[in-house]
């Protein structure tokens, strides 16, 4: 998946024979790196040759994870940081900060049921980001994403560091699922499939736009409805299968690595890097919304519109707005009250 890069003894990146331009130094931090998502995500980021420094932070167990991952013979230097007093060092100089810190769901819970614990965790971590690496791109994985992204925005606004181009709710797993489920139903090669997923990241706020899926398959309406429901319930499908042992970790680490790689490519000036993400938006009347986003040297270069929607998708869009609005407002209120 990732190309490899030659290194000098000092650990600095060199031009690999055959490559026309140098690969810049990039520091990436994973906050919550010892968790179910954090560990495989640390592995995948260690395999990414665009990363030169990998900082693994958690409130416990990061030294072991960092020692383990650091033995892999790929470009980045790895360091583990544990406990709040080491958070600043983990964040200093970061280009991208990925946040999978916080509790996951158990069967019967909604993502919003995680708010009480995760809102405080995210708020604390974002305060530290504002202090130690205010220019970093922030990839928010912690749920409920529909509220944690607005919390992060408010924390950054209060600190005077908010740049709406640099804050992303990671909704890539919804896209990954939509692609997989569509390929299965349409009987097309999954590697060729593209499906935008818009809205938010919880239940009906997840709106896959199968009318825009490629390759075209002209699936009947009942198949589109079933695919939409399965994509919306994908997280719950995993939570139930894990039966109390957490939620999606491996597929999420994959999705998180895809999204972070896209951010790094954008920072490095690779043209036409487009991914769906939950960002500050004027695509609808809601202040945050997931849609296709073009990534560039400063983060979001362009928030792309929705494109033509089917009648079913138009209905889905109207139905998701009240829930998404209230989750966004809940996050904003929390950040300003606490
Ligand atoms: P987990 O419990 O396995 O790991 C969470 C990690 O966060 C733990 O190692 C814990 O020590 C750490 N942590 C807790 N407080 C912290 C703090 N203040 N600073 C740093 N680290 C801290 O959970 P998981 O399965 O990895 O899931 C993590 C989060 O990601 C959950 O909120 C889950 O709902 C969410 N998630 C989001 C998506 C998505 O698509 N955006 C997908 C899957 C899971
Ligand atoms: C997912 O979509 O898998 C995550 O948001 C985790 C969850 O709670 O479903």
Half-sphere exposure of 92 (CA within 13 A, CB side): 7
Do residues 180 and 316 share a domain? yes
Q: What is the dihedral of CA 66, 70, 71, 72, to 10 degrees?
A: 120
Whether residue 12 is contained in a domain is answered as: no
227 and 125 co-located in one domain: no
Q: Which residue has the tokens 């999954």?
A: 190
Q: For ligand 2, is residue 248 a contact (CB within 6 Å)?
A: yes
Q: Does one domain contain both 254 and 150?
A: no
- Of all residues in the chain, the percent with pLDDT exceeding 70 is 93
Structure tokens at 101: 């810190």
Q: Does 122 reside within a domain?
A: yes
E strands, 87-126, in order: 96-99
Give, as one character, the DSSP assignment of residue 45: H
Q: Is residue 126 part of a domain?
A: yes
Nearest partner of 242 among 37, 64, 54, judged by Cα? 37
Backbone angles phi, psi at 216, to 5 degrees: -65, 140
Residue 121 labelled as part of a binding site: no
Indicate if 209 and 333 belong to the same structural domain.
Answer: yes
Residue 184 and residue 238 in one domain: yes
Is the distance from CB of 235 to CB of 251 less than 8 angstroms?
no
Distance CA 155, CA 169 (A): 15
273 & 159 share domain: no
Helix (H, G, I), strand (E, B) or coil at 197: strand
Percent of the chain with pLDDT over 90: 93
Whether residues 153 and 45 share a domain: the answer is yes
Mutate-to-test residue for ligand 2 from 107, 143, 174, highest number of ligand atoms within 8 A of CB: 143
Q: What is the pLDDT of residue 308?
A: 98
Nearest ligand by distance to the CA of 106: 2
Q: Is 148 in the pocket of ligand 2 (CB under 6 A)?
A: no
Same structural domain, 199 and 115: no
Per-residue pLDDT tens digits for 237-296: 999 999 999 999 999 999 999 999 999 999 999 999 999 999 999 999 999 999 999 999
289: domain CATH number?
3.90.110.10
Report how many domains make up the chain: 2
pLDDT value at position 22? 85
Instruction: Tell me the pLDDT band of 334, cut-offs 50, 70 and 90.
Output: very high
Active site residue 201: yes
* Residue whose CA is at the smallest distance from ligand 1 atom 4: 35
Cβ neighbour number for residue 225 with a 10 Å cutoff? 14
Same domain, 196 and 303: yes
The pLDDT of 162-173, averaged and rounded, is 99
Beta-carbon contacts of residue 65 (< 8 Å; ≥ 6 apart): 33, 34, 38, 39, 42, 56, 58, 80
Residues 207 and 265 placed together within one structural domain of the fold: yes
Distance CA 122, CA 102 (A): 8
In a domain, 262, yes or no: yes
Asked whether residue 14 is domain-assigned, the answer is: no
Residues framing ligand 1 (Cβ under 6 A): 31-32, 34-38, 58-60, 100-105, 114, 118, 121, 124-125, 141-143, 145, 170, 173, 201, 246-249, 252
Closest-CA residue, ligand 2 atom 9, reads 235
Q: Which residue has the tokens 């009906």?
A: 204
Peptide bond into 248 cis (omega under 30): no
- Choosing from 169, 184, 217, the residue where a domain stops is 169
Dihedral (CA of 286, 292, 295, 301) sign: negative
Q: Which domain holds residue 30?
A: 2-6+21-169
Q: Are residues 136 and 206 in the same domain?
A: no
Which ligand 1 atom minimizes the distance to the CA of 172?
40
Q: Binding site annotation covers 326?
A: no
Residue at 184 is within a domain: yes
**Any domain includes 13:** no
The set of residues, in sequence order, having a beta carbon less than 8 Å from that of 26 and lying 6+ positions away, is 50, 51, 52, 53, 95, 96, 264, 267, 268
Residue 254 CA: which ligand is closest?
1
Whichever domain contains 29, its CATH number is: 3.40.50.720
Q: How remote is the C-alpha of 32 from its chain's centroid?
A: 13
Q: Is the CB of 330 under 6 A from ligand 2?
A: no
Query: Does residue 15 belong to any structural domain of this protein?
Result: no
Per-residue pLDDT tens digits for 122-144: 999 999 999 999 999 999 999 99
pLDDT over 80 (residue 17): no
Residues 87 and 205 in one domain: no
Whose structure tokens read 């690595």?
257
> What pLDDT does 140 receive?
99
For residues 78-88, b (16+ Cβ closer than 10 Å) or e, as one string? bbbbbeeebbe
Question: Which residue, 146, 169, 192, sits at the end of a domain?
Answer: 169
- Which two tokens mark 279? 């960002």
């Amino acid at each position: 998946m990732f190309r490899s890069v030659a290194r000098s003894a000092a650990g600095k990146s060199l031009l690999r024979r055959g490559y026309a331009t140098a690969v810049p130094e990039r520091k990436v931090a994973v906050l919550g790196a010892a968790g179910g998502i954090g560990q495989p995500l640390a592995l995948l980021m260690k395999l990414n040759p665009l990363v030169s420094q990998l900082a693994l932070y958690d409130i416990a167990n990061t030294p072991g994870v960092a020692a383990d991952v650091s033995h892999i013979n790929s470009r980045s230097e790895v360091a583990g940081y544990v406990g709040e007093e080491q958070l600043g060092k983990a964040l200093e100089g970061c280009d991208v900060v990925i946040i999978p810190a916080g509790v996951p769901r158990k069967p019967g819970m909604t993502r919003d049921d995680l708010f009480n614990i995760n809102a405080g965790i995210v708020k604390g971590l974002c305060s530290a980001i504002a202090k130690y690496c205010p220019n970093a791109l922030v990839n928010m994985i912690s749920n409920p994403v529909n509220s944690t992204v607005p919390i992060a925005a408010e924390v950054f606004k209060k600190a005077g560091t908010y740049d709406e181009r640099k804050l992303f709710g990671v909704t890539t797993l919804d896209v990954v699922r939509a692609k997989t489920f569509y390929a299965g139903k349409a009987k097309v090669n999954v590697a060729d499939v593209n499906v935008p997923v818009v809205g938010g990241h919880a239940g009906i706020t997840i709106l896959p736009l199968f009318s825009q899926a490629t390759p075209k398959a002209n699936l009947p309406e009942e198949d589109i409805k079933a695919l939409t429901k399965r994509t919306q319930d994908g997280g719950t499908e995993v939570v139930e299968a894990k039966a109390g042992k957490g939620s999606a970790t491996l597929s999420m680490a994959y999705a998180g690595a895809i999204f972070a790689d896209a951010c790094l490519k954008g920072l490095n000036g690779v043209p036409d890097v487009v991914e769906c993400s939950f960002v500050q938006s004027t695509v609808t009347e809601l202040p945050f919304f997931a849609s296709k986003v073009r990534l560039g040297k400063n983060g979001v270069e362009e928030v792309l519109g929705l494109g033509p929607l089917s009648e079913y998708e138009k209905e889905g869009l109207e139905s998701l707005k009240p829930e998404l609005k209230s989750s966004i407002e809940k996050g904003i209120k929390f950040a300003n009250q606490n």
